[in-house]
A and B are shown apart, each in its own frame.
Chain A
Amino acid sequence: MSILVDKETKVICQGITGKAGSFHAQKCLEYGTRLVAGVTPKKGGSFVGSIPVFDTVREAVQKTGATASMIYVPAPFAFSAIKEGIDAGIKLVVCITEGIPTLDMVKAVEYAKAQKARIIGPNCPGIITSDECKIGIMPGYIHKKGRVGVISRSGTLTYEAVWQLSSAGLGQSTCIGIGGDPVIGTGFMDLLEIFEKDPQTQAVLMIGEIGGSQEEEAAVYIQKNMKKKVAAFIAGMTAPKGKRMGHAGAIVSGSHGTAQEKIDALLGRGVAVIKNLSELGASLKKIL
């Protein structure tokens, strides 16, 4: 078991003929993902490697029965790509694209909610169920099938965590990069709820960072609803106020969204907080 994606999930790639799209689509295929089609307007009928390309998502879905999409479309066009995917019946939209205007994402998330579809991201590495399905840009080989669910706002920091979990012999069930933007389709809380129900997952590692109040809300949720162990790491203790730290969403506004505030909220609700980045794997091993 795992969450959201598994070896049956059929995936298409929107923006497959771009540099990132074609590279990562093939990497996903190599990993074992059932990447059944790509979409780029006016490139229908061509192939990227062995992957057939269609003009529209609707066509790709009709021909392949795909239910998930991985989006690499450039930021100015990402909103319409997300909408096109949802309109064609895609239920899981994984948006890798960075730099999408915030209000476009507000509209996209609103639209997805109305159509009962789920968006992961944007500005994220994607989602991977170890040894089954990789939808995104993460290096596949560091992931090992195992017991820990991972939810993270970051990219390479997630790889670090996954690496440590794999090295510690724990492995991961499913690992989701939820994205570094202020407005994202799926947050900590949504995924905690799903992990709680997943028999394979025995503990969850959440990796947060400065900005917003998602971690605080997750802390409240965990205390109320989670039987499984949850450990958290929060990046940005040393981040100065009012400065955007790489991610559009990683900013302390006024006195809100600091790492300390989040750590206090998590500790206050009984969530284990890992302070030393080198000890992610060891800490999870201890609590399991």
Chain B
Amino acid sequence: MKIHEYQARELLGAYGVAGSRGEIVSNATEAASAFKRFANPYCVAKVQVLAGGRGKAGGVQIVKTPQAAEEFCRRFIGKDFSTCQSGGKAENVRCVLITEDIKIREEYYLSIAVDRSKNLPIILFSKQGGVDIEETALKNPAAIQRIHFSPNSLPDESRIFSRVATGFSKESIPRQISSIAAKLAKLFVEKDASICEINPLALVSEDRVMALDAKITFDDNALFRHEDIKALKDPEEEDERERKAKEFGLSYVSMEGNVGCLVNGAGLAMATMDMIKLAGGEPANFLDVGGSATADQVREGFKIILQDTRVEAILVNIFGGIMKCDVIAQGVIEASKETRLRVPLVVRLEGTHVEEGRALLKNSGLRIISCSTIEDAADTAVKKAREFKELHVHSR
């Protein structure tokens, strides 16, 4: 679960990590008043969206007058905003962060995540901040300090200090960095974060180090023990269909193509999408109905897929293990009847009770195309989608 920058600032503040002075505003009037309080002599205005890459998209600007702050808010609040990292999905801007404009002397990078290859949390620190850390990692891996720690024993400041101390003009600078990193580690563990990133961690006047932007993501699986964090959730993080899917225990991700797919199991679902692509088509979605799908879940899955009007064929790929193919087939039949399915439906069943399942599909009286291999099913679905499209164009 992602949170907004202003929420991350508050959380960091609660853990004793200082940021610039500022305030969140939701209209132009508030922006002008915030400007007057925090101008130094200017302010920075930042749209609050969950996607990264706001700066490049024009969502972060220095405003020099109260009027400019007002103007910024009028331009963005209530409007859709997207960045190169939005994945084509715009977010509605509801608020803007107005902070003092601080003169930055140096920019550092600090983050904590779980290092999956070591199975431990890791602090990443680089003196080259502000830029994309992935680029630094590629071009100059030595410029990144990596400090692993166990959630059972948080790293103390002196341990971090010994790793980040070199190359600063004054010892007080790495001291502050170590202190901030230790606080961030505490936050990371106590709140079950999955990523805590401060970029830039800035060196400003009087040799002070502060967090000028922060991104925090939390482990969805741990939200059950953090009511305070759960309350920060922005429902817009997921689109309507993703939300709906979750309610029924399904996992849905919208994509750009026209072949909808419904599969049991995440790995098989991804592999099915890949097969659609291999057959020359484009998947419209990822939809995992779970390893032990029920007929109800299949029906809800169909409804969600069909809300996407770009879908021109549906491919169902089920490997019946514990879940039997005849039960799934029954679910598919009911779902097609209930949704009055117009687009071609290709079903590939394999596994437990497959013969019974295929017979049910065949005798359903519906135009369901049954295939026995996934390759055949993907080819057929892509072909049928193409035919449906042509028919559709001609009938217009």
Contacts and interface: CB of A to CB of B under 8 A. Distances in A.
Interface residues of B, number: 57
B134 A163 contact: no
B277 A278 contact: no
Given A125-B291, A155-B291, 14 more contacts: A23-B322, A76-B225, A99-B221, A103-B189, A157-B265, A183-B114, A207-B267, A213-B116, A238-B282, A239-B270, A242-B87, A245-B251, A245-B288, A247-B267
B143 interface: no
Interface string A97-117: 001111111110110000000
Interface residues of A, number: 69
A158 B225 CA distance: 33
A207 B273 CA distance: 16
Interface of A: 23-24, 27, 75-76, 99-107, 109-110, 125, 137-139, 141-142, 152-160, 163, 180, 182-183, 207, 209-214, 217, 233, 235-250, 254-256, 259, 275-279
B352 interface: yes
A180 B322 contact: no
Given A156-B268, A156-B319, A214-B116, A102 B274 contact: no
A110 B268 contact: no
B321 A102 contact: no
Contacts of A243: 87, 253, 286
Contacts of A237: 273-274, 277
Contact of B274 (A103, A152, A238): A238
A239 B288 contact: no
B270 A109 contact: no
Contacts of A245: 251, 253, 266, 269-270, 286, 288
Contact of B267 (A155, A183, A278, A279): A155
Contacts of A160: 268, 271, 319, 350, 374
B114 A102 contact: yes
A180 B60 CA distance: 37
Contact of B150 (A110, A139, A152): A110
A27 B321 CA distance: 12
Interface stretch (B41-49, B74-82, B117-125, B171-179): B117-125
